[in-house]
Amino acid sequence: MNESPRTVLVLGATGSIGRQTLDIIRRNPHRYRVVGLSAGTQVDALHQLATEFRVSPEATALGAEEAELLARDIEADVVVNGITGSAGLGATLATLAGGRTLALANKESLIVGAPLVRALAKPGQIIPVDSEHSAIAQCLTAGRKEEVARLVLTASGGPFRGKSRQELVSVTPEQALAHPTWNMGRVVTTNSATLVNKGLEVIEAHVLFDMPFDRIDVVVHPQSIIHSMVEYVDGATIAQVSIPDMRLPIALALNWPERVPGAVTPMDWTRAQEWTFEPLDNEAFPAVQLAKEVGAAGGAYPALFNAANEEAVDAFHAGKIPFLGILDTVRAVIDQWTATNAEVTRESLLEAETWARSAAHQRIPA
């Protein structure tokens, strides 16, 4: 029996996740049909994609606010949220409110707006696109939730793996952007160097899988072949293994719970190889522990963490603060916050983010 193609709305279509999503759709026209597209600022690229995928002008959007309207109004089986930053929260909430399946690459939706997302999301409505969380979702199919002992997220270690805190004092922005595995934007690549990205992913895992922070671990795995693991109560650990290629978790999110044949090249098991694991150095890279602290505190704290970090990353690349100053700035901003954990709303989160950015700027030399 021939089934109708799944309809897909791609938000952030000109970014890395968006481009790879559309690549999968190109190669599987019988499975998917694009019904809407959004981009941040690339007008020409958006128009070209709309022409290629036969998307009407009314189903295209430029900017996060317009993308939120698309997510609210366009009927789609799957909405891929590849918008960068906390600006993607509105589209996430609109998708969930509309009852659509959300293929989520915008981790800030969960970092910043966890209480709002939890209030709207139905079981199984959010399918993670991040490779680590996709891996965990796959590994969780091996047992029941009550049989899970802990989640283990893998980290490549970034370009400064193995360096001491003292060795990180004088690193340059160019060095921070030289990631050994992934090709990402400036903020995400720098976050991988500081391990802030892994800290954000720990919070994301906590929200997605309802797992306490003391049962979420991070292990350094520089080969980036094992994308994450789930340890069960009997001592078994289930791992998801594949080459580092984001098209696999994207394809799985589009087609969940079924797999897309040929999504990526499989592992070559005829070739000798080594996989290594190292403990996380919390002294040199305190971001993961700090993320666990703000995640456990809840309320606006994760939003403060994310916003202050974005400002500090910009300051680092502008030559205003050193590499270690990124996390020092973030911690100082968090320690300065005195507001009570009142009810979280979009307005209160925006106010907290605005305050955090201002507080960070006050600590950054002009």
Whether 84 is covered by a domain: the verdict is yes
Looking at residues 324-341, what average pLDDT do you find? 92
pLDDT in tens, 31-46: 999 999 999 999 999 9
**Whether residue 341 has pLDDT greater than 70:** no
How is residue 265 written in tokens?
Answer: 């090249």
Percent of the chain with pLDDT over 70: 98
pLDDT in tens, 223-265: 999 999 999 999 999 999 999 999 999 999 999 999 999 999 9
pLDDT in tens, 93-137: 999 999 999 999 999 899 999 999 999 999 999 999 999 999 999
Whether 240 is covered by a domain: the verdict is no
At residue 339 the predicted structure's pLDDT band, cuts being 50, 70 and 90, is: confident
**Whether residue 180 has pLDDT greater than 90:** no
**Whether residue 366 has pLDDT greater than 90:** no
Looking at residues 172-199, what average pLDDT do you find? 88
Whether 62 is covered by a domain: the verdict is yes
pLDDT in tens, 256-312: 999 999 999 999 999 999 999 999 999 999 999 999 999 999 999 999 999 999 999
Whether 49 is covered by a domain: the verdict is yes
**Whether residue 182 has pLDDT greater than 70:** no
CATH code at 53?
A: 3.40.50.720
At residue 2 the predicted structure's pLDDT band, cuts being 50, 70 and 90, is: low
**Whether residue 361 has pLDDT greater than 80:** yes
**Whether residue 222 has pLDDT greater than 70:** yes
- Domain containing 94 equals 6-106
What pLDDT, on the 0 to 100 scale, is given for residue 179? 79
What pLDDT, on the 0 to 100 scale, is given for residue 206? 97
At residue 338 the predicted structure's pLDDT band, cuts being 50, 70 and 90, is: confident
How is residue 251 written in tokens?
Answer: 């394809």
Looking at residues 200-207, what average pLDDT do you find? 96
Whether 229 is covered by a domain: the verdict is no
Whether 89 is covered by a domain: the verdict is yes
The domain tally of the chain equals 1
Whether 339 is covered by a domain: the verdict is no
What pLDDT, on the 0 to 100 scale, is given for residue 60? 98
pTM of structure: 0.94
Whether 134 is covered by a domain: the verdict is no
Looking at residues 197-226, what average pLDDT do you find? 96
What pLDDT, on the 0 to 100 scale, is given for residue 194? 97
What pLDDT, on the 0 to 100 scale, is given for residue 1? 41
What pLDDT, on the 0 to 100 scale, is given for residue 143? 97
Share the mean pLDDT of the chain: 95
